[in-house]
Structure 1
Amino acid sequence: MNRTVIVGAGTAGVHAAMELRHRGYAGGVLLVGEENHEPYDRPPLSKEFLKPVAEPDTLRLLPAQIARDRGIDLRLGLLVTDIRATAQEVVLSDGSIVGYDHLVLATGARGRPLTVPGADLPGVWGLRRLEEAEALRKALDGADDVLIVGGGFIGLEVAAAVRARGTRVTVVEFLPRVMARVLSPQMARYFTQAHRHRGVEILIGTGVTAVIAGPLGTASAVVLSDGRTIPADVVVVGIGVQPVTELAERAGLHTTDGIVVDGRLRTSDPRIYAVGDCARFDCVVSGRDLRLESIQNAVDQARFVAGQIAAGHRPQADGDAQGSSYAALPWFWSEQYDMKLQIAGVASAEAESVVRGDSASGSFSVCRFQGERLVAVESVNRAKDHLAARKLLTADPARLRRVTRESVANGETALRALLDV
């Protein structure tokens, strides 16, 4: 037997399969996807896809024909229901049993449900799958008032897409600021003002306690924790995600808010890897235990694991060293209106901020420091800062220590110039 089985046909699973072939892996590659659709790209679902005219073909991540051409056995509409780790087999929902040499769990995450009365009414939408995005887009065509629960990336991206239609939009965020888990107070304040300037009502520090049905039995309003009632014929829920770990748990793998992996992204069973939104790992760059929900992380982890697996089946080449640890720098992005937000690195809530440039210009950066160490850079419409930050944050420690608050504060001095300091 010489086969790698990949569970999950999202970004991480697809890139793992494609990278195995790119690296010359000659064994069998089975990619199992729960949805009936060909693998598709999820980020556009909260952006371009919500426009009045959008085609699913623009989302295609791995067409079936390309999978066949690459020798990837793509099986859709199936679940892996059980892992028989001792026998190195997986059981599929159609009853078939498949053996593996290596197993990659790319099970991703599911939307966190809204658990209030009325949350199951027609007119309340999640946004994690293509069917949800298609149905939401149709609902928006006739909507008068859209209320978005959650002011994270997804919530604000949906707000921007809906507001571009001219529809009234309200965003309700329970935390003290929007995008609180990932952004500095300064950058969060900028995005709040930008949305409000474009007509979005943003309610901070407020929760939803109920969704009210109208005469037709569909959502018509929501009740807030402060007692107010807000009209809403479309309610979009974007309150985070939960890692899909049930399969790993049944197999006895170590899990805690994700499938726990080591430096080589192996689970507690060394023949089983986990990558992407479902994986919890020690981030070498930030020095923190993380589970990241980003395309960059999904792609980089998938490629790393494919390298590990491929290296075991042919002579080692450059970059294939099996003993190396995953050490990619986390970075993220979001597009809202004409604003492109790019974040390099990971900062804690206690990190201090230094602003580069003038926020009023619509092009500036916020550098985050933990003690004396630069740990993250947030940039809006300032791509050069972002690219330089990705190099700075992966520079050798001695060089990074020379990057100070004073050296980054001058917005006229290019960040890339600090690479030569």
Structure 2
Amino acid sequence: MATIDRKYIVVGGGVAGGYAAREFVKLGLQPGELTIFSKEAAAPYERPALSKAYMFPEAAARLPGFHVCVGSGGERQLPDWYAEKGIELKLESEIVKADLENKTLTTDKGDVYSYGTLVIATGSTFLNLADFKTAGADAKGIYYLREVHEADKLVDAIKANKGGEAVVVGGGYIGLELAACLTINKIKVTMVFPDPCFMPRLFTPELASFYEGYYENKGVNIIKGTSVTAFEKDDNGHVSKVILKDGRTLDSTLVVVGVGAKPLLGPFKGLLEEEKGGIKVDASFKTSDPNVYAVGDIATFPMKMYGDTRRVEHVDHARKSAMQAVQAIKAAEKGEVVDEYDYLPFFYSRSFDLSWQFYGDNVGETVHWGREAGTPDSKFGAYWVKDNRVMGAFLEGGSPDENKLIAKVAREQPSVNSTQDLVSAGLGFASKV
């Protein structure tokens, strides 16, 4: 079979793939130069919508409404957009073999493509309880969420279980957001997770206490400090019970699991230098192979702000790293270089009437400011202070302008004389930076 030649190939049709396409076009892509491979059936879309508005009982988000790049205020790239720009978008197509020495890729259909420059943007996927050999994890009625076809299945299950009960396994982003969506859909939710509180990698006990109380007031039952050890099935192979490590048993025919993610290195595993579970890249996202770049969830990159290397699973980084890589690729063609990637860590979530944002690094002493628990309509937040400098900032209920203020604090890392000053000043401290 003849090899199909392309100047650029992007493997992965998620957020990073879509933003890479936009950047190529912006910087002068010619028709026929770029092919994007995606194992999904839909053109690149803004994945965060799936655990938020996609599950709403009314005015739910649906494609084509959230194709990239609407998540950052850009043009919506419908499937026709790629054809109009001369980009070959190969949907439901996976790369199963990579020959980096000869610069070729083989698809699951048997097609062989050659490339000049390759961008790997395969992202990550959910951890399946079957990975942990949890008994009964193959039962019907257990749902995971990463792609739109999985969201459609969960939507159907929600409609079929109105007024019923569900178990959400996990107390992180996906668990919290989907527990809220299920509750809004009038489903009684029990959350189960082994950690001592919601989102312990970011939330302090004080922050977690507020969110846990808020969820409980919405009717969510929270079981902390234990894990799921098995599922029981009925005669049709459908989940009927959830067995916990502490001996408790929960009756449920609907289970949603969100216990973390893992990078999808696929056929590139072992072909490139790796670090911290991902593909090691430089500040332009170039890998150990000069013709190959890796972006988004799979990339372990230099974190300039903190002088270390990190792998970040977040949509904001997926967008920005893809743009950085394409800018570096196009600059190198002209014998130029781009500024090194200087990323400010950013995380956010929305559920019920809540909306928080966090910027920076949650290291050092935590300083909480704002209202006492129980008044969810007022703003509150926290600063993280190390060596008398503010390293991170968290804000619940902030306006767009207020969120920009805490981002500026995390970026500039201002010095503080007294943590008590932060308590009394609250958001006012950020406004003076």
Same structural fold, with TM-score higher than 0.5 when normalized by the shorter chain: yes
Q: Is the 8 A contact 2:276 2:310 kept in 1?
A: no
Q: Is the 8 A contact 1:265 1:275 kept in 2?
A: yes
Q: Give the whole-Å Cα distance in 2 for the aligned partners of 1:225 and 1:368.
A: 35
Q: Give the whole-Å Cα distance in 2 for the aligned partners of 1:136 and 1:358.
A: 36
SS in 2 for 1:102: strand
Aligned mate of 2:394, from 378, 383, 388: 378
Q: Which runs of structure 2 are paired with 1:240-255 in the superposition (5 Å)?
A: 240-255=260-275
Residue matched to 2:431: 417
Q: Which amino acid aligns with 1:65?
A: D
Using the TM superposition, give the Cα deviation of residue 413 of structure 1 relative to its aligned residue in structure 2, in angstroms.
5.6
Aligned mate of 1:10, from 11, 14, 26: 14
TM-score by length of 2: 0.89
Residue matched to 2:40: 35
Q: Give the whole-Å Cα distance in 2 for the aligned partners of 1:2 and 1:132.
A: 32
Name the CA shift for 1:57/1:280 in 2 (closer, same or farther; >3 Å): same
Q: State whether structure 2 residue 410 is matched by structure 1 residue 393.
A: yes
Q: Which runs of structure 2 are paired with 1:277-316 in the superposition (5 Å)?
A: 277-314=297-334
Q: Give the whole-Å Cα distance in 2 for the aligned partners of 1:105 and 1:359.
A: 46
Residue matched to 1:44: 49
Q: Which amino acid aligns with 1:375?
A: M
Q: Is the 8 A contact 1:374 1:404 kept in 2?
A: no
Q: Give the whole-Å Cα distance in 2 for the aligned partners of 1:190 and 1:35.
A: 38
SS in 1 for 2:65: helix
Q: Is the 8 A contact 2:6 2:113 kept in 1?
A: no
Q: State whether structure 2 residue 138 is matched by structure 1 residue 137.
A: no
Q: Is the 8 A contact 2:127 2:260 kept in 1?
A: yes
Q: Which runs of structure 2 are paired with 1:17-416 in the superposition (5 Å)?
A: 17-26=21-30, 28-53=33-58, 54=60, 55-61=62-68, 62-114=77-129, 115=132, 116-143=134-161, 144-314=164-334, 321-322=337-338, 324-348=339-363, 351-360=364-373, 361-362=375-376, 363-383=379-399, 384-395=401-412, 400-402=414-416, 405-411=419-425, 414-416=428-430
Using the TM superposition, give the Cα deviation of residue 83 of structure 1 relative to its aligned residue in structure 2, in angstroms.
2.0
Q: Is the 8 A contact 1:263 1:282 kept in 2?
A: yes
Q: Is the 8 A contact 1:254 1:267 kept in 2?
A: no
Provide, for residues 233-265 of structure 1, a one-character-per-residue CA deviation record: whole Å limited to 9, x for no partner.
101110000100132215344354111212221
SS in 1 for 2:333: coil
Q: Is the 8 A contact 2:272 2:289 kept in 1?
A: no
Q: Which amino acid aligns with 2:370?
A: G
Q: Which amino acid aligns with 2:386?
A: Q
CA RMSD of aligned residues (A): 2.0
Q: Which amino acid aligns with 2:277?
A: D
Provide, for residues 110-139 of structure 1, a one-character-per-residue CA deviation record: whole Å limited to 9, x for no partner.
100113111110001111111111111111
Name the CA shift for 1:403/1:413 in 2 (closer, same or farther; >3 Å): farther
Larger mean Cα displacement after TM superposition, 156-165 or 98-107: 98-107
Structure 1: 5+ residue stretches without partners: none
Name the CA shift for 1:404/1:328 in 2 (closer, same or farther; >3 Å): farther
Provide, for residues 155-179 of structure 1, a one-character-per-residue CA deviation record: whole Å limited to 9, x for no partner.
0100101111221101111111111
Larger mean Cα displacement after TM superposition, 24-33 or 41-50: 24-33
Q: Give the whole-Å Cα distance in 2 for the aligned partners of 1:276 and 1:403.
A: 37
Provide, for residues 215-235 of structure 1, a one-character-per-residue CA deviation record: whole Å limited to 9, x for no partner.
443111101111000111101
Using the TM superposition, give the Cα deviation of residue 402 of structure 1 relative to its aligned residue in structure 2, in angstroms.
4.8
Q: Is the 8 A contact 1:377 1:386 kept in 2?
A: no
SS in 2 for 1:101: strand
Q: Give the whole-Å Cα distance in 2 for the aligned partners of 1:281 and 1:141.
A: 42
Name the CA shift for 1:205/1:289 in 2 (closer, same or farther; >3 Å): farther
Percent same amino acid among aligned pairs? 29
Q: Give the whole-Å Cα distance in 2 for the aligned partners of 1:203 and 1:119.
A: 20
Q: Give the whole-Å Cα distance in 1 for the aligned partners of 2:123 and 2:427.
A: 40
Tell me which stretches of 4 or more aligned residues in structure 1 moved more than 4 Å: none
Q: Give the whole-Å Cα distance in 2 for the aligned partners of 1:307 and 1:25.
A: 12
Q: Give the whole-Å Cα distance in 1 for the aligned partners of 2:418 and 2:92.
A: 52
Name the CA shift for 1:185/1:385 in 2 (closer, same or farther; >3 Å): farther
Q: Give the whole-Å Cα distance in 1 for the aligned partners of 2:362 and 2:154.
A: 34
Q: Give the whole-Å Cα distance in 2 for the aligned partners of 1:403 and 1:288.
A: 27
Q: Give the whole-Å Cα distance in 2 for the aligned partners of 1:81 and 1:253.
A: 19
Q: Is the 8 A contact 2:281 2:294 kept in 1?
A: yes
Name the CA shift for 1:279/1:212 in 2 (closer, same or farther; >3 Å): same
Q: Which amino acid aligns with 1:389?
A: I
Structure 2: 5+ residue stretches without partners: 69-76
Larger mean Cα displacement after TM superposition, 79-88 or 232-241: 79-88
